Structure 1
Amino acid sequence: MDAVSGVTSTTQPASNSSNSATAIASDFETFLTMLTTQLENQDPLDPVDSQDLAVQLATFSGVEQQTRTNALLEDLGGQMGLANLSQLASWVGMDALAVGPMYFDGAPIEIRPEIPSFADSAELVVFRSDGTEVQRLPLDTSAESMLWAGVGADGAPLPSGSYSLSVESTVDGESLPDGRVSAYREIVEVRASGGGTQLVTGGGIELDAASVISLRQPV
């Protein structure tokens, strides 16, 4: 695990630090033994150059210091990771507004589509997790938020699962760049993963904590 990633278990940093310290002590004793043996058995007519000894000592000192620094960074990284998880633990049970896939289980979802203020028409486009388009709905270009009911053209709810939404809008008949859609979803778990903190939402869908736009109590 990366020493500066800030993601580690509660016991790993201490173990790594202990192992590093033990290795340093063992290597240093071995180095001193070899150096002493070298000096005792050197040729009096061709003694070891003092500059070479200084270079060896400086090199070992540098490696020793780097190892100690890495161990310290692992300890600090672990503490920071745990502190971050502890701070975000209060988010569990709250609704987070974020852009990204969302899990539909039959209940309407509050969404906030990004529609350019100068657009004269807009549509909400719904995709399944495999990228297949399953629905298009007209949008009020002045609306800031709406409820997506997840109901198909036949009046039946769409199957439960992960869906992604986007906005397609036009002005004077010309297409504009697709707009993003943020949605509220309940946070069920906070997890350290991949060098960052992930929020687990319904259906096991993960969000980067940094992507959250706002939080609120469930409505």
Structure 2
Amino acid sequence: MTGIKGTGQSNLSYLDQLKGMQEKKLQESQSKVTGQNELKQEDFLSLLTKQLAQQDPFKPVGNDQMIAQMASFATVDGITKMNEQFGSLNSAMTSNQALQASSLVGRDVLIPSTTGVKQADGGITGMVKLPQALNNTLVRVENEQGQLIKSFDLGAKPPGEHRLEWDGTDENGNQLPEGRYKLKVAGLVNGKNQEFDVSTYANVNSVLLGNGDGNVMLNLAGFDSPFKLAEVLEVGKV
């Protein structure tokens, strides 16, 4: 085969010269990289055009191979766009949830926590879930150190959810200082003492958008850490 005449009068074959030009351009492009680590659609089309222009004329790329490359790129490109759309949708939904949750500020919500916050002149209200009927349902009120403050009996209760109310006083009827207290409920099940799930009401101070994970968070009075809106079991009446 007659060599291509050009600068330097090279005697290399046509394919060898094309190969050398392609490698040279590749090296030049690599030396100009500025941190971009993603191939865009125009990059793929440029590479595809070069591949077609510089392919071996005796061994051209097959139709099936070409279609497979295009299909792979289309799939990746479609997934990327879908992820971007989901990201936008998630942000919109989070903002909408936060807007709706703002109506909870100043209201009481039921959270899955045995710890409740007592105000200076009040007590703590909660809910207990009983798996079966009990003849005696004992409520224990403890301080943050786990010391027993007061205990009282709810009496016989059927299975289901039941409201708990502690008036904020000790065994002698003295009003206790404000702070965090725990409500624990226990009863005899098949002759054995068993504790049950207790939830307490807390007042909503403010609403947060979370840490970019799509969760709307609630700052509750008396709690150091926020609770997820999704954890709220019930919203109290105004």
TM more than 0.5? yes
Match of 2:226 in 1: 206
Q: Whole-Å Cα distance in 1 between the matches of residues 129 and 136 of structure 2?
A: 9
SS of alignment partner, residue 111 of structure 2 = strand
Q: Which amino acid aligns with 2:176?
A: P
CA contact 1:123–1:167 (8 Å) conserved in 2: yes
Match of 1:215 in 2: 236
Residue 104 of structure 1 pairs with residue 118 of structure 2? yes
Q: Whole-Å Cα distance in 2 between the matches of residues 136 and 175 of structure 1?
A: 22
Q: Whole-Å Cα distance in 2 between the matches of residues 60 and 113 of structure 1?
A: 56
The structure that has the greater radius of gyration is 2
CA contact 1:118–1:171 (8 Å) conserved in 2: no
SS of alignment partner, residue 43 of structure 2 = helix
Q: Whole-Å Cα distance in 2 between the matches of residues 201 and 152 of structure 1?
A: 28
Change (3 A) 1:184 1:109: farther
Q: Deviations over 1:183-204 (max 9, x none)?
A: 3321111223354333221123
List aligned pairs for 1:186-205, cutoff 5 A.
Answer: 186-193=203-210, 195-204=214-223, 205=225
Match of 2:47 in 1: 34
SS of alignment partner, residue 141 of structure 1 = coil
SS of alignment partner, residue 196 of structure 1 = coil
Match of 2:136 in 1: 121
Q: Deviations over 1:23-76 (max 9, x none)?
A: 98x621111111111211111111122211111111001011111111111111
Change (3 A) 1:157 1:185: same
Residue segments in structure 1 that go unaligned for 5+ positions in a row: 1-21
State the TM-score, normalizing by the size of structure 1.
0.71
Match of 2:64 in 1: 51
Residue segments in structure 2 that go unaligned for 5+ positions in a row: 1-35, 157-161
CA contact 1:98–1:184 (8 Å) conserved in 2: yes
Change (3 A) 1:155 1:182: same
List aligned pairs for 1:163-178, cutoff 5 A.
Answer: 163-170=181-188, 174-178=191-195
Equivalent pairs counted in the alignment come to: 192
RMSD (Å), alpha carbons: 3.2
CA contact 1:92–1:187 (8 Å) conserved in 2: yes
Q: Percent identity?
A: 20
Change (3 A) 1:133 1:49: farther
Identify which of structures 1 and 2 has the higher relative contact order when contacts are C-alpha pairs closer than 8 Å and 6+ apart. 1
